[in-house]
Structures are given as C-alpha cells and as structure tokens.
Amino acid sequence: MKTPPVPQDREGTAAGLLLGAARHSAGRTTAVFLCSAASAVASLALPAVLGRTLDLLLRRSPDADPWLLACAAVIVAEVLLDALVALLGGTTSARSAAWLRTRGVGRLLAAWPGHAARFPPGDVAVRLTANATEASTAPVSAATLGASLLAPVGAVVALFLIDPWTAVTFLAGLPVLLLVLRAFARGSSDSVASYQRAQADIATRLVEALAGARTIAAAGTEARDRDRILAPLPQLATQGRRMWRIHGAAVARSGVLMPLLTTAVLAVGGIRLASGDMSVGDLLAASRYAALAAGVGTAAGLIGSLIRSRSAARRAAELMALPAMTYGARTLPPEGRGTLELRGVSVRREDRTVLAGVDLTIPGGTSVAVVGRSGAGKSTLAAVAGRLTEPDAGTVLLDGIPLGALRRDVLRREVGHAFERPVLFGATLGEALAGGSPMPEERVRAAARAASADAFVRLLPHGYATPPQAAPLSGGELQRLGLARSFARAGRLLVLDDATSSLDTVTERQVEAALARDVRHGTRLIVAHRLSSAARCDLVVWLEEGRVRATGPHEELWRSGEYRALFAPPEPGPAAVPAAASKTEPYTHRAPVAARAVPLPHKHATEPAPAADTAERADR
C-alpha cells in the first residue's frame, strides 16, 4: 500500500453509508414501510367510513351496525399500526445507529494513526453519537415518507370523489398556505446569531476562568469573576425574547391558515348540502380530508429529517473513508535479535518530503540515538520503524522480514513504542500499563519501577487501581507511565520517541540505567534532544531535512561543530557548555561512562554569572 488511495468503498460516502444501514435492517425497514402505509390507508378510509356510518345512523337505518363495526375495526387498526410503526421505527433506528457506530469504531481502529489523528477526539465523539443517531433515522424516515405522501394525496382524491367543489376550494387555498410557511425562516436567523454569540461569549469567559481556577481560589475573587462571566446574560435574554416574538408571529400566521381552509371547505360543503348534493356524513368527511390533505407538512418534516440525516451521514462517512492498515501473516525468525533495516524509505506529507530515501541498518541489540533539528524527520523515522506510518516508498525490515508482512500480534509484541505525550487507556493505571494485554501484576510493577513511576503511582489515592483520568499527572509523570508501558511489553525493538523530554535530569539518568539493566534486551531506537542521551547510545543517526547526514558513535560525530550545535542548551546555558562546544577546544570523548565519573564541580564552577550566560548565548 502506498499513498492512501481515494477510498473506493461505498461506505465512504453518505449515500453509500445510508444504503448500507438500510440494507443491514432491510426486513425491518420494509416492515416499517408496510405498517405506515397500512396506517395511512386506514386513516384515509376512516373519514369515509365514519361519514357513511353517521349518515346511516342519522337515518336510523338498520344497515348501520356493520358500518359501526367497520368503523371500530378501522380505528383500532390505525391505532395499533401507529404503535407498531413507533416500535419498529424506534428499534430499527436503534439498530442502524449501533451498526453505524460499530462500523465507525472499527474503521477508526483499523486506520493508520496519522490518518486517524486528523479527527480530534471530541469531533469523533460527535460523529459517532449525535451524527450517527441523526443518520440512523434515515431508513425509517424514508420508509415513512412514502406512506406519509399517501395520506395527503389520497385525501385530495377523496375530496374530489366526495364533491369536486370542495377539492377545488382546498387546492385554491393551498398556495397561500405555502407562501405563508415560506416567510417563516426570515428574520429569525439574525436574532439566532446574536443569541448564539452572547452564549459563546459567556462560555468563553467561563472557560477562561476555569483555566485560572487556582488564581481565583487564591485571590478569593470567585464572586467577582462570576459576575464578570455572567455580564453578557442580559444580552442573551434580550435576544432570546426577540426569538420568541418572531417565532410567535410565524406560528400565529401559519396557525390561522389551516382552520380557515377547513372552514372554506365546510362552507362550500354546506352549500352543496343545502342543495342536496352532499350528506352530513360527506360534509364531515370532507372537512376531515381537508385536514388530512394539509398534512403535507408531515412529509416536509420527513424530507427535512432526511436531509439532516444525509449531512450527518456525510460526517460519519468521513470516518468510514479512513484507509485501513494492513497486516501480513508471517512471523519473525526465532533466532533474530532485532536487526532493523530501512531500504530507500521515503515519506511525504502534503507535498513536503519528510524522509527522503533513508537507508539504514541497525544491528540487533544496539541502542541508536536519532538526532537532528526539529523538523528533520526524527519522529517520522521512529513511526516508520514501528510501522505506525507506512512509507510512501521503500521497505522496513525487522530481522529480514518486511514489517508489512508480519502478523499484527507478532509486530506489536516485538516492537514497542514510548511517546513524548503518551495517552493511557484502560480502567486503572495497572491496566493502562499493561497496554490492553493480560499481564502479571508483578511484571507491570517491575516495568513501572524501571521507569521511575512506581513511587509516585503508589502515592496516588488508589495506587495502581487509580483510574488514569482521576490521577493528577504532570507531563513528566505521564511520560514515565508511557515508558513503563513500553518496558512492560519490550520485545526485539523498542522505539522511544522523545519519551524522556519532560523528565528532570536525575530521573532521566535513573530511567536510562534501569532500561539498560532491568528491561528485556533488544534493539533501541531513541529519538533524543539531550546530548547525554545521544552520548550514551552505541550509535547516533544524524538526520537533516529527511536525509541521514551521518551515522556513527557520538564521539566521532562530536568532532563536527554542526553536530555539536544541535545540542545548544534550551535555557541559559551554563558557562561550561559553550566552552566545551567551542571549536577551538576540540572535545575528546573517551566513553559515555566517563561523564558520570566526573568529579563534583568545584564551587566556583557552579556559580556562573547569569548576565554572562545570556551574553554568551546571544553570541552563538
């Protein structure tokens, strides 16, 4: 698989997705259609039967009894059919929603991380809850739409059958009704916008204050801040009242028309009654049919609902269009030690080349630092090495097997990752560290100890049983938990992508020592910014603009001034750094261990003048 292809999948489009949902519940959807059609037929039959019955009863005709029974049958049938439509419709929509959600989650989980990351979590949640629910009503809406058209059309026909004049009267009044309804939306949108602006204003102020909660708590200004947040409330109320006024005027207009139309039909019917062309029953039936015929509104509502479903489905379908990761069926040779090989690996992101033809072989069991300026492609290299990203060209092999040919479980068992900002999943920290696979508790704790996480986890109210969301974690603590998770499942290759950046120097050292000592031995690929990390690795890969600038042991690369410049300290550097890094005094590196054997600094060496620091830093 190369660049993600445009999905040919039908579920990737709104129509395809809705069709899929309808197919999934084809039987039920058909049943909903049949029931609602039958209900419409019953509602059409009722006025006629009712009118006829009434006429017979008024005439005190003995034939009235069977008609009364028919009336009862039609009414009961209509009520039961409506109930059935409600039941079937509800369950069908529930089924469709579940189907859409399951598909969506499945597609999301199968997707490449880089592609899935385009959708923020809140957005995904909306797509698979509100949007999926709205989309899921489409099959039922479509099924009932057909039936709902039956009633008004049938009612007009019935009016014609009873008396053409009543039908003509009704049809003549209809355009006026539509015109009034059209005027509805006008004028309201402006006040809605102002209303929403005021609401957003309050929300923004609240979020600002929540972010500053500690300041407010300390300053005791809660009441004052509350008043400030609520300052736009009167504006909200003003706009809200305006919305109701506009709405009320629209309802008043449209509310007049329907009864007027029915009254007009009654008047015409009355004249026809007086002339003997209609019966009282006919007249009642005619007024009822006029009401039914005006029920086109229901159809309009259903069409609106279908349109909303379609746009909701479009949003859900964007998730379905995510290309899926593929896996192979091969396993790794048992004797392999984790040799990682990149052959001509290139990665492009939106016209930009992130990695350009990287060739690299990392012998099994070595630790490799990946260094380079930000944007050099370090994280992409790390992602490619663990198959979290598919290269656009080239191959990545682990112990001679292309990563894409490996079985998923083998790949994920043998290749572990730790990230700069790990996300923990699972009900407890213990589960989160096990990373979703069953694992003995002791192994989890050992990994946590190695990552210097055990101590602070035990300080938490419920220790390892604390839910990750309930634990107040600093960036450094989170990183240590991410490291612990990767240590617990360390296989042939461990990829640490900037995974110690938030640790203080002391902790970082402890973790590095434990990684060398207590974690299953294998190949390590370490994206690092700190010089000390690079120095302690067996090999350094120096990336520059997506290419390998150089590889070699740290001490060899250190001869290059440009390489040394990569490690310019991020904060006011101590005097020793520029001195050591200056070109005039070539650094002689013996062994990484030597760094730790440095005698403690003398007192005068520990007192750099801050002003001098800044000055020297500015020079560089």
Residues between 122 and 151 that touch another protein (CB under 8 A): 122-126, 128-129, 133
Q: Is 228 in the site for another protein (CB under 8 A)?
A: yes
- Phi and psi at 303, nearest 5°, equal -65, -45
The least distance separating another protein from the CB of residue 444, rounded to whole angstroms, comes to 13
The least distance separating another protein from the CB of residue 526, rounded to whole angstroms, comes to 16
Task: Compare residues 298 and 395 and give the one whose CB is closer to another protein.
Answer: 298
Q: Is 183 in the site for another protein (CB under 8 A)?
A: no
The least distance separating another protein from the CB of residue 528, rounded to whole angstroms, comes to 13
Among 168, 181, 233, 550, binds another protein (CB under 8 A): 233
Which residues, numbered 288-307, are part of the site for another protein (CB under 8 A)? 288, 291
Taking alpha carbons only, the member of 239, 243, 262 closest to residue 251 is 243
Q: Is 491 in the site for another protein (CB under 8 A)?
A: no
The least distance separating another protein from the CB of residue 439, rounded to whole angstroms, comes to 11
Among 8, 175, 610, 619, binds another protein (CB under 8 A): 610
The least distance separating another protein from the CB of residue 607, rounded to whole angstroms, comes to 7
Instruction: Round to whole Å and give the CA distance between 278 and 108.
Output: 65
Identity (one letter) of the amino acid at 208? E
Instruction: Round to whole Å and give the CA distance between 500 and 548.
Output: 23
The least distance separating another protein from the CB of residue 426, rounded to whole angstroms, comes to 9
Among 102, 189, 311, 326, binds another protein (CB under 8 A): 102
- Phi and psi at 471, nearest 5°, equal -95, 125
Parallel, antiparallel, or unpaired for β 352-362 and 547-552? unpaired
Among 149, 153, 249, 397, binds another protein (CB under 8 A): 249
Which residues, numbered 532-561, are part of the site for another protein (CB under 8 A)? 532, 535
DSSP 553: -
Q: Is 604 in the site for another protein (CB under 8 A)?
A: no
Q: Cβ distance 300 to 94 under 8 Å?
A: no
Task: Compare residues 15 and 179 and give the one whose CB is closer to another protein.
Answer: 179
Q: Cβ distance 567 to 575 under 8 Å?
A: no
Task: Compare residues 8 and 584 and give the one whose CB is closer to another protein.
Answer: 584
Task: Compare residues 236 and 519 and give the one whose CB is closer to another protein.
Answer: 236
| SS3 label, residue 547 | strand
Task: Compare residues 15 and 455 and give the one whose CB is closer to another protein.
Answer: 455
Instruction: Round to whole Å and give the CA distance between 580 and 40.
Output: 89
Give the interface size with another protein as a residue count (CB under 8 A).
187
| Cα–Cα distances in angstroms (integers) from residue 137 to residues 21, 32, 36, 50, 81, in the given order | 10, 12, 15, 34, 19
Task: Compare residues 376 and 478 and give the one whose CB is closer to another protein.
Answer: 478
Q: In what order do the strands lie in the sheet with 523-527?
A: 415-418, 493-497, 523-527, 367-371, 539-544, 547-552
- Phi and psi at 401, nearest 5°, equal -105, 130
The least distance separating another protein from the CB of residue 414, rounded to whole angstroms, comes to 10
Which residue has tokens 């129509």? 15
Instruction: Round to whole Å and give the CA distance between 186 and 247.
Output: 10
Taking alpha carbons only, the member of 484, 386, 500, 388 closest to residue 439 is 484
290, two tokens: 């006029």
Which residues, numbered 3-32, are part of the site for another protein (CB under 8 A)? none
Taking alpha carbons only, the member of 76, 35, 74 closest to residue 51 is 74
The least distance separating another protein from the CB of residue 358, rounded to whole angstroms, comes to 21
The least distance separating another protein from the CB of residue 38, rounded to whole angstroms, comes to 14
578, two tokens: 């520029």
Q: Cβ distance 413 to 494 under 8 Å?
A: no
Instruction: Round to whole Å and give the CA distance between 181 and 619.
Output: 73
Task: Compare residues 257 and 360 and give the one whose CB is closer to another protein.
Answer: 257
Among 29, 144, 166, 287, binds another protein (CB under 8 A): 287
The window from 22-30, 110-118, 169-177, 396-404 that contacts another protein (CB under 8 A) reads 110-118
**Distance spanning both ends of the chain, measured CA to CA:** 46
Among 2, 252, 350, 442, binds another protein (CB under 8 A): 252
Which residues, numbered 508-527, are part of the site for another protein (CB under 8 A)? none
Among 458, 520, 583, 620, binds another protein (CB under 8 A): 458
Which residues, numbered 41-100, are part of the site for another protein (CB under 8 A)? 50, 53-54, 57-58, 60, 68, 71-72, 75-76, 78-80, 82-84, 86-91, 93-95, 97-98
The least distance separating another protein from the CB of residue 412, rounded to whole angstroms, comes to 3
Which residues, numbered 188-217, are part of the site for another protein (CB under 8 A)? 199-200, 202-217
Q: Cβ distance 313 to 18 under 8 Å?
A: yes
Residues 6+ apart with CB under 8 A from 261: 170, 173, 174, 177, 290, 294
The least distance separating another protein from the CB of residue 357, rounded to whole angstroms, comes to 25
Which residues, numbered 359-418, are part of the site for another protein (CB under 8 A)? 386, 388, 408-409, 411-413, 416-417
CA 243 to chain centre: 33
Instruction: Round to whole Å and give the CA distance between 192 and 208.
Output: 24
The least distance separating another protein from the CB of residue 153, rounded to whole angstroms, comes to 20
The least distance separating another protein from the CB of residue 494, rounded to whole angstroms, comes to 11
Which residues, numbered 316-355, are part of the site for another protein (CB under 8 A)? 325
Half-sphere exposure of 238 (CA within 13 A, CB side): 8
The window from 8-16, 26-34, 147-155, 586-594 that contacts another protein (CB under 8 A) reads 586-594
Among 6, 442, 506, 517, binds another protein (CB under 8 A): 506
Among 66, 270, 304, 344, binds another protein (CB under 8 A): 270
Instruction: Round to whole Å and give the CA distance between 458 and 463.
Output: 4
- How many other CB atoms are there within 10 angstroms of residue 462's CB atom? 13
